[in-house]
Amino acid sequence: MLPEEEKKVLAVVPPSLRAISEDIIAGERIDGDKAILLYRDAELSLLSLLAAKVKHRISGDYVFFNRNFHIEPTNICVYNCRFCSFHKKPGEVDSWDLSMEEMLDIVRGYDGKAVTEVHITGGAHPDHDIYYYAELIRRIKELRPDISIKAFSAVELNYIIRKAGMDYSKGIGLLKENGLDSIPGGGAEIFDETLRKIICGDKASSEEYLTIHETAHNLGIHSNATMLYGHTESVEQRIDHMNRLRELQERTGGFNAFIPLKFRNENNRMSSIPEVSVIEDMRNYALSRIFLDNIPHLKAYWPAIGRDSAVMSLAFGVDDLDGTIDDTTKIYSLAGAEETRPAMTTEDIVRMIRSAGFIPVERDTNYKALKEW
């Protein structure tokens, strides 16, 4: 039995969308064609209602966050994606390549602080191999065995594993033996190979990305998944991207969260492309929550979209706001995001979540609830 307000919304929905909406409310999965129709034709209010239904079915009134910090080892990268504002060549102005001790000093800076996760990702440096990063992980674990290490995008893993002449299972297994706990979702961009060749043609393919995540899942390592949206991709390409993730999740169940990443257009070779509106952001969050019914969490990465949009996204199916971050990432600030010094206190995040009418829950990397605020 639907509440009166929901009946009123559905009463004015065209019949084709009403049938899809009723399926979603009943907990049924929609296919790609229905998702495209919903994306193109549904009013924002309907998308919000449907995404909220799916979100509530999965995580109730809870919205999650964690206490985390980032290490970005280097912005020197063998790849030069057209959308990237982070890439530098060796010796170029503003390039960096942190030494092992410099990265360990970042960890030491959190001695005595209640952080639960370090997120490590950066460029695919030509001189650093899998053994270098395995040592880094091992030494971080020696310093802080209590911290979960989420490290290396599939693009980085593809490069350092191939560089060592290993297969994916052996390479990821080596990192796991040294303390790798989970894998971030970066590097997915958009899976359509025709478009991928245009915007990031020289790095890991969509098939390699998915195979790396599947291999990690089969080794007991959970991961996140992303999608870069708002550049030159079509609605069909977005849905195709999400469908490939949904199919992999059916096989492994290893994805913790899906993170739509907004294209920002400063300081890169796609700067002529205007950024999409906040309304488009919300449509994308809603469709992500509706379509990816088997990935448990939908994250709004607040350094990319700003705090106001992150709060708004909670009405469109989002149930995770990432973490405190503590001004330890530059990837999105270099691309023109509003958050030039991304850092929040636990109290900041709790206040944001409560302001949207939800219950804040501090979590660990794999979404074990640590504290309800």
Mean pLDDT per 10-residue segment, the chain (373 residues): 68 87 94 96 95 97 94 92 80 89 96 92 93 98 97 97 96 98 96 95 94 98 97 97 98 98 85 93 98 97 88 97 65 46 79 95 96 93
User: In this predicted structure, what is the pLDDT of residue 330?
Assistant: 43
Please provide the DSSP assignment of 186-220 as one string. Answer: TT-----HHHHHHHHTTS--HHHHHHHHHHHHHTT
Cross-strand pairs, 119: 70, 150
Mean pLDDT of the chain: 91
Q: d(Cα 331, Cα 70) in Å, to the nearest integer?
A: 11
Neighbours of 197 (CB within 10 A): 11
> SS3 of 262, please?
strand
Whole-number pLDDT of residue 80: 86
pLDDT of residue 120: 97
329 vs 119, 122, 169, CA distance in Å?
A: 10, 10, 29
Tokens, residue 15: 């019949």
d(CA 33, CA 369): 36
The residue type of 274 is P
102 Cβ neighbours under 8 A, 6+ residues apart: none
* Cα torsion 22, 253, 234, 278: sign: positive
pTM of the model: 0.92
Q: How far is CA 73 from CA 64, 68, 291, in A?
A: 27, 16, 35
Q: At what angle do helices 154-163 and 130-143 cross, to 10 degrees?
A: 120
What gap in Å lies between CA 279 and CA 284, rounded to an integer?
A: 9
Number of H helices, E strands in the chain: 15, 10
Cα–Cα distance measured from residue 181 to residue 61, given in angstroms and rounded to the nearest whole number: 28
Residue 346, pLDDT score: 85
Beta-strand relationship, 222-229 and 320-325: unpaired
Query: In the 8-state DSSP scheme, what is residue 271?
Result: T
Question: By C-alpha distance, which of 6, 30, 58 is closest to 319?
Answer: 58
Going from the N-terminus, what domains does the chain have, and what CATH number goes with each?
56-372 (3.20.20.70)
Cα 113 to Cα 120: distance, rounded to the nearest angstrom: 18
